[in-house]
Structure 1
Amino acid sequence: MPDIAELLRFDVSPLELIVRGSLMYWLLFLLFRFVLRRDAGSIAVADILLLVLIADASQNAMAGSYTSVSEGAVLVSTLVGWNWLLDWASFRFNTVRRFVEPPPLVLVRHGRMIPRNMRREYVTVPELMASLRAHGIEKLAEVKMARMEPDGGISVIREKKTDDDDDGSKVKPLV
């Protein structure tokens, strides 16, 4: 039978755990935000980071790498606190949002690819064309603008059709 007091005691100072957790959170957050590409889908980078760190911290607490559950709980609480604070601050303050989320990046403008921006995010021509097809676009000429959004998705705005571009989809008056 385990000794409950032994499970809940601290061998490492709670303040040290908070500092260690904070330093690791910010190191990994900055690495994800500024070094890795944006292809995480609709889950924010901070959310992925939080899941990975919580899984590691709680696994260590459960497996006995820490000598008590309390140490793991302090570390997990620190990570959850930073994630909540970043979400709240980015919702309330544009300055924080601009730091936390990368700005949208234009990949196609008026039917022309922007190779520099595509290279920056490692988007290949086949990947871009597949995304355009998913939006129902067959040719680059149909694209007014395609942007890589902060979540890694590509949004597309079509060029407006002119009367010269009539493809038969309009109803023509009978004469």
Structure 2
Amino acid sequence: MTDFTELFAREFSVWHMVVRGTVVYWFLLLVFRFVLRRDVGSMGVADLLFVVLVADAASNAMQGEYKSISDGLVLLTTLIAWNFGLDWLSYRFAWFAKFLEPQPEVLVRHGRVNRKAMKREMITMEELEGKLREGGVESLSQVRIARLESDGKLSVFTVDGRKPGDDVQESGPPGR
């Protein structure tokens, strides 16, 4: 049977774990931010990265890939500190928030497609038209503005001022 104290003894130095966690966090953050910009979904890039890294670090700590719980706790603390720090910096400094999250990109304005933005975001006409149809927009001529948001969703406003998906109710009592 393993000695209870071995569970909490550190195999690696604290700085070793902090540097390892920091390097992995920043590498993945930059990859997600600049290479996989819009493929994240509704969570922010830093949030998704944090969840993935914490899950992996916690798994290693619990399954014994580290020789001690303390090594896992040091790595988890490092990841938590970076996540909190980046959230705080984004809140305090607009330029930092712009660095972490891409700005919304206008794909359609007054029915005209912004081909440069479509190419930059690697979105095909078929994908754009499919997303517009999902929102109840039948043709590009109905679109006042359509933006690709930083979370990967498409915001659409129509010429008549309705947001796609709003139900149009007919006036007058039913049955007449």
Provide TM-score, normalisation by structure 1: 0.86
Q: Name the structure 2 match of 1:52.
A: 52
Q: Deviations over 1:85-118 (max 9, x none)?
A: 1112212221111111101111111111112211
Q: Deviations over 1:63-92 (max 9, x none)?
A: 222110100011011111111111122122
Q: Residue 22 of structure 1: CA displacement? A: 0.8
Q: Residue 157 of structure 1: CA displacement? A: 1.9
Q: Residue 2 of structure 1: CA displacement? A: 3.4
Distance in 1 (CA, whole Å) between partners of 2:37 and 2:155 is 17
Structure 1: runs of 5+ lacking an equivalent? 162-168
Q: Name the structure 2 match of 1:165.
A: none
| Runs of 4+ deviating beyond 6 Å | none
Conservation of the 8 A alpha-carbon contact between 2:37 and 2:102: no
Conservation of the 8 A alpha-carbon contact between 2:131 and 2:154: yes
Distance in 1 (CA, whole Å) between partners of 2:113 and 2:101 is 23
Q: Name the structure 2 match of 1:78.
A: 78
Conservation of the 8 A alpha-carbon contact between 1:144 and 1:159: yes
Q: How does 1:56-135 map to 2 (within 5 A)?
A: 56-135=56-135
Q: Residue 170 of structure 1: CA displacement? A: 10
Q: Name the structure 2 match of 1:143.
A: 143
Q: Residue 160 of structure 1: CA displacement? A: 4.1
Distance in 2 (CA, whole Å) between partners of 1:40 and 1:30 is 13
CA RMSD of aligned residues (A): 1.9
Q: Deviations over 1:19-68 (max 9, x none)?
A: 11011101110110011130322111111111111121111112222110
Aligned pair count? 164
Q: Name the structure 2 match of 1:164.
A: none
Q: Residue 15 of structure 1: CA displacement? A: 1.4
1:45 alignment partner AA:
V
- Identity rate of aligned residues, in percent? 49
Conservation of the 8 A alpha-carbon contact between 2:18 and 2:75: yes
Q: Residue 134 of structure 1: CA displacement? A: 2.6
Q: Name the structure 1 match of 2:164.
A: none
SS of equivalent to 2:78: helix
Distance in 1 (CA, whole Å) between partners of 2:47 and 2:124 is 26
Distance in 2 (CA, whole Å) between partners of 1:103 and 1:109 is 16
Provide TM-score, normalisation by structure 2: 0.86
SS of equivalent to 2:141: helix
